[in-house]
Amino acid sequence: MAAQMPNGQAALHSLWPDARWNISALFTHDQITFHALAALKERFDCRPAVDAIHGSLPVLWNSGRAARKARPIDPALVKKRLEAFNGVGSGVYYTFSNHLLGQEDLTDEACNRLLDAIDNDTGLNGVIVASDLLFDHIRKEHPALKLTASIIKATVENGKGDVDYYRKQAERFDSVMVHSDDGFNLDLLDQLDREKMEILVNENCVRNCTVREKHYALLASEQRTGGKSQPEGCLMPLTELDGKNLSCNMTDEEFKSVYDMGFRRFKLQGGGDMAWQYLYDFSRYLLEPTLVAPVFFKYIVAVQSAYLARDARAKLQAARAARAAKAKQDPPAS
């Protein structure tokens, strides 16, 4: 029987205590992530090793997940997120992983402004890319930014299962994201660079998905056309739960096998998930599983719910005040 809650290093997941994380939450769940990290430090004297947080605004170079709501880029928002995460030693990475870019797309004003925003002297920030054109552009214009090869790149270039492919990418990139299916291929992983490979632990797609490449193409095209991004035949368990297909979520045993091989860089996806789904995986994979994770998950969800309720009330009150002010200005119809 436990006498007290684990604290410090003991509050992290004991099977992979030295795991380092690149978390998919920028511009989606970044505020709750920052609050979660602050709460862990305050309540458990614990700081998970979050090397970076990644994501994108709905711009042309984005891909990997749908970003449909076109809106002006708010420089103040980008600066605020950058300062918050860089201030605690975490990098900010853009998922500029659209693999269908042409030479003419490299001059996109919004995307280049975003690059300017994270190109500072911290050495923490970078970009996840799938296009060699974009790789060359960023290396030339922003040599201080780190570059990561996307899972999309390995998919569309038929790199899955190919040791030589990964080794070649590792020569060019600062880090390389391993194809989701290859995260379960221990024979292949055993031949790869432990320092440069980054392994995704909780992808929602089914293992050995037959429409993965088509899905990526639709997502990339959507940034330009706003069209459909879900391919026919998608078996993702979040939408098609049939009780048969395995997702790419790693079990504890699978994760531990990879960790014991010497890999320490891991990716937690969640940018396209609802906040509760994301927080579940954050708690499951980063924290001590029997005492800390359940309590922390319930706590942080309650905090998020209260925040959303307070925000909704504020918006409702503002709308009512606006209607009342308008009613005073507009004379009644005769």
Q: What is the pLDDT of residues 5-46, one digit of tens each?
A: 999 999 999 999 999 999 999 999 999 999 999 999 999 999
14 against 328, higher pLDDT: 14
* Confidence at residue 51, expressed as pLDDT on a 0 to 100 scale: 98
CB neighbourhood size of 314 (10 A): 10
Average pLDDT over residues 44-50: 97
CATH number of the domain where residue 85 is located: 3.20.20
pLDDT for 235 beyond 70: no
| Domain-embedded: residue 257 | yes
Q: Which two tokens stand for residue 62?
A: 């984005």
Looking at the domain assignment, is residue 196 inside a domain? Answer: yes
Highest mean pLDDT, choosing among 70-79, 117-126, 303-312:
117-126
- Given a cut of 80, whether residue 301 has pLDDT beyond it is yes
Q: Which stretch of 108-117, 193-202, 211-220, 271-280 has the lowest confidence by average pLDDT?
A: 211-220
Q: Is the pLDDT of residue 173 over 60?
A: yes
Whether 134 is in a domain gets the answer yes
Q: Which of 147-156, 184-193, 270-279, 283-292 has the least mean pLDDT? A: 270-279
Q: Is the pLDDT of residue 142 over 60?
A: yes
Q: Is 218 contained in some domain?
A: yes
Is 192 contained in some domain? Answer: yes
* Average pLDDT value over all residues in the chain: 88
Cα distances (angstroms) measured from residue 282 to each of 259, 271, 286, 312? 17, 12, 6, 25
* Amino acid found at 10: A
**Residue 301 covered by a domain:** no
Would residue 5 count as lying in a domain?
Answer: no
Amino acid at 175: S
Q: Which domain holds residue 195?
A: 12-289
Q: How many domains does the chain have?
A: 1
**CB 47, CB 40: distance < 8 Å:** yes
**Is 309 contained in some domain?**
no
* Structure confidence by residue, pLDDT tens digits, 53-90: 999 988 899 875 555 454 557 888 899 999 999 999 99
H-type alpha helices, the chain: 30-44, 75-86, 109-118, 132-141, 151-156, 163-172, 186-189, 212-225, 252-260, 275-286, 292-329
